[in-house]
Amino acid sequence: MAQRVLDRLLNAIEGDDRLDRPGHRLEQGLAFAQNLLGVTRGRARGFLHGVWLGHPFHPLLTDIPIGAWTTALVLDLRGHERTARAAVGLGLAGALAAAVTGLNDWQYTHDDARRVGLVHGTLNTIALGLYGWSWWQRGRGRHGRGRIAALLGYPVIAISGYLGGTLTYRHRIGADQTDRRLDPRRFTRVLPERDLPEGRPHRARAGDVDVALVRSDGRVHALVDACPHLRGPLSRGWLRDGAIVCPWHGSAFELRTGESLNGPAVHPAQCLQTRVRDGWIEVRPRAAASPPGGTSARRQEGWP
């Protein structure tokens, strides 16, 4: 019964195109604010997305308000008013941090996921307001009002958390969307070497996999032609400071390692091993990662 109700709720949200107009306006406002603050590239953007963690930063921060406000609920039941207020305050701080990172991730979503994310953020804002009022009333000695506000806010944050889980597990926002199990395992011809220009990505085919080939400083690089964020075509991107930039959302990946440099992609792009034989560029999936400078790593890079 509960599952049917939740499925109907999700289907209603995903199918409601009335959410698109406020979503686009919010996106434009966020982009303008980030441009003013200088957050659109580099370390600040990568920090908010969680590039330094290797997975999105936002889900980690959401545990703070949920855990703190659950603790406050238990403390209220036991009559520990001062400690409950401290827990509510901790949750407010965590919720504000989660809101900043969540908005930063949300603006790089599309269609159904964007609609779910907009409702998710709206519910979080309502919960934040209720808990903020709860914290304020407790500070003025009106603990009864504070408890009522917290009780009203808790189911709101619970539903919002469910929608957040939907973004991760149903829409795979923040998940690595590339297929890491690639065939063929042997070197496969993909393009005559003479047909690959310097400094411009080129799309080729290796078996059933699209590949983005790049010649930079005389060296041939190959990556799976799908950005880990939302599978944007890297072969339609451009080069910048030794990295290939996804044309959809601007994620930049280091050519040699595939490392994400700025987000919204937090996972590395999948690099392929390359070689040139008899005038043809050949590629194959790399072996399991090994420490930099190790024997396996040198072989993957085509060293003797």
Q: Where in the chain is the domain with CATH 2.102.10.10?
A: 188-287
Q: In the prediction, which pLDDT does 180 show?
A: 67
Q: In the prediction, which pLDDT does 31 show?
A: 86
Cα-Cα-Cα-Cα dihedral of 140, 145, 151, 152, to 10°? -110
Of 259, 254, 255, 292, the C-alpha closest to 274 is 255
Of 148, 164, 43, the C-alpha closest to 99 is 164
Of 259, 263, 238, the C-alpha closest to 249 is 263
What is the distance between the alpha carbons of residues 57 and 85, in angstroms, rounded to a whole number? 26
- Say if residue 282's pLDDT is above 80: yes
Task: For the chain, list the strands marked E by DSSP.
Answer: 188-192, 202-206, 209-216, 219-224, 238-240, 243-245, 252-254, 271-277, 280-285
Q: In the prediction, which pLDDT does 295 show?
A: 40
Task: Give residue 41's pLDDT band: very low, low, confident or very high (50, 70, 90).
Answer: low
What is the distance between the alpha carbons of residues 100 and 284, in angstroms, rounded to a whole number? 40
Average pLDDT over residues 189-218: 91
pTM: 0.80
Average pLDDT over residues 136-161: 95
On whether the CB atoms of residues 174 and 55 are closer than 8 A, the answer is yes
What is the distance between the alpha carbons of residues 96 and 91, in angstroms, rounded to a whole number? 9
What is the distance between the alpha carbons of residues 261 and 5, in angstroms, rounded to a whole number? 41
Q: Which CATH architecture has domain 188-287?
A: 3-layer Sandwich (2.102)
What is the token pair recorded at 130?
């209720």
Name the phi and psi angles at 148, rounded to 5.
Answer: -65, -45
Ranking 185-194, 259-268, 280-289 by mean pLDDT, the lowest is 280-289
Q: In the prediction, which pLDDT does 300 show?
A: 39
Residue 291 makes CB contacts below 8 A (sequence gap 6+) with: 297
What is the token pair recorded at 188?
């496969």
| 141: region left, alpha or beta (phi > 0 left; psi from -120 to 50 alpha) | left
Residue 232 makes CB contacts below 8 A (sequence gap 6+) with: 226, 246, 247, 248, 249, 251
Mean pLDDT of the chain: 88
Of 125, 199, 120, the C-alpha closest to 160 is 120
Q: Is the dihedral of CA 88, 94, 97, 98 positive or negative?
A: negative
On whether the CB atoms of residues 212 and 235 are closer than 8 A, the answer is yes
